[in-house]
Amino acid sequence: MVPTDRQKAAAESWGNFCDMLKTAGEQLLRTDFPIDQFDLAEGLRYLSRLTYASIERNMEGANPQKPLLYVLCNERIKIGGDNPDNRYFAAAVDWRHRYVLRGDFRQCSYFSVVASGRGDGSDAARGGAVNSRTTVTGADGFTEIHIGREPRGGNHVTLNESTTLVIVRCTIETTASKDIDVSLERIDDGSSVDHAARYDAVTDALQRTALFVRNAASYYGDWTARFQGHLNELPIYPDQAQLVSLGGDPAIQIYLSAWALAADECLVIEIDEIPDCITWNFQLCNVWFESLDYTIAQVHLNSRTAVYRADGGVTMVVSGSDPGHPNWLRTLGHDHGTLCLRLVGASEALRANTRVSKASELTRR
């Protein structure tokens, strides 16, 4: 038997997927920020993780008629400075349908549900959002949030013609377990669900899968390169609205930078005054903007785990060896990477003062 034209086209589609996925590896060749052998090993792992996450997002979880609430980030799936205190979930949605999200968020110090869209930074891509300050919890301890075009129920996230995704952030600062009882259900007429795997839909999803891997790796690589311009500092990201349009939480301020230290150096971060807020966290990431392995060491601090100074400020120390400081953040063998600080629910910005010191000098103080 001779393969049919449709068989040949399917094989070509798979080949195109592999070709586009291959281009993501060009990030390993960048010369606009330091990349050592350690980074290359993590980079290869990062690309494989992005591929796994993209399959979940663009292939398995891409049908808004039958939404799948999948894990967006956890201890292994890391992207864009993922918060170690968070559980992230996401699902595909369509403004023509109605959904209800139910979750037991009682162990969370903060949670939010945000509708996002095309990911192009446009205002049209922004949907509605609710968070733990704006929602009402039921008598059973569950928070029920309706999602759709028209308001329905007390807690509601608005969708428009450009919104295609909802992102759930659950911040758990103190407990070792981050298991969240959360579900998403479509509640309008479910008879219109197309259960068949359609050829065009699957081939399109395959290409979106590879495109996401390539674009995400490039986008966050560009961040790392750009932040070399303020190395070992921690400024607020200049365009917070852009981050919101890409699926960010409008209640969160983001501070981003890059860091680099010699073996005998440490980075000291001093925040003299933290504005009134729901919570905050500071973390170390690698050059690919993955959080360092928080399951084995203290690589981040938050409003509950940090030790405060007598004046209410916070001093944190980043170094490879123990400086004898309670707010020591371990670099885990890295001598460079990226930094991320989040300030949640604050009406004003904070200022982080940074300096690089010799580890021996800090120990003597």
The domain in which residue 163 lies consists of: 30-220
Q: What's the pLDDT score for residue 189?
A: 76
Number of domains into which the chain is organized: 2
Percent pLDDT > 70 in the chain is 95
Write the DSSP string, 167-198: EEEEE--S-S----EEEEEE-S-GGG---S--
The number of angstroms, rounded, from the C-alpha of 234 to the middle of its chain's C-alpha atoms is 18
Q: How do residues 221-239 score in pLDDT, each as one tens digit? A: 999 999 999 999 999 999 9
Q: What's the pLDDT score for residue 245?
A: 85
In a 13 Å sphere around the CA of 42, the CA atoms on its Cβ side amount to: 22
Tell whether 49 and 142 lie within a shared domain: yes
Tell whether 258 and 209 lie within a shared domain: no
Residue 272 sits in a domain of what CATH number?
2.60.120.600
Residue 64's SS3 state is: coil
Tell whether 170 and 104 lie within a shared domain: yes
Tell whether 198 and 293 lie within a shared domain: no
CA torsion, points 167, 171, 172, 176, in degrees to nearest 10?
50
Q: Write down the H helix ranges in 24-90.
A: 37-55
DSSP state for residue 133 in the 8-state scheme = T
**Domain membership flag for residue 337:** yes
Q: How do residues 99-126 score in pLDDT, each as one tens digit? A: 999 999 999 999 999 999 865 444 545 6
**Domain membership flag for residue 1:** no
Average pLDDT per 10 consecutive residues for the chain, totaling 365 residues: 92 96 98 98 98 95 94 93 96 96 95 82 66 94 95 89 95 84 90 73 94 97 98 97 90 98 96 97 98 96 96 97 95 97 96 92 60
Tell whether 155 and 196 lie within a shared domain: yes
- Judge contact between 127 and 117, C-beta under 8 A: yes
**Domain membership flag for residue 113:** yes
Q: What is the value of pTM for the model shown?
A: 0.93
Distance, CA of 364 to CA of 359 (rounded, Å)? 9
Tell whether 110 and 253 lie within a shared domain: no
**Domain membership flag for residue 304:** yes
Tell whether 192 and 286 lie within a shared domain: no
Cβ count near 85 (within 10 Å): 27
**Domain membership flag for residue 340:** yes
Tell whether 186 and 232 lie within a shared domain: no
**Domain membership flag for residue 250:** yes
Residue 242's SS3 state is: helix
- Which of 3, 22, 14, 34 lies closest to 335 in space, CA to CA? 34
Tell whether 193 and 232 lie within a shared domain: no
Tell whether 247 and 135 lie within a shared domain: no
Cβ count near 41 (within 10 Å): 10
What is the residue type of 335? D
In a 13 Å sphere around the CA of 286, the CA atoms on its Cβ side amount to: 22
Residue 72 sits in a domain of what CATH number?
2.60.120.1600
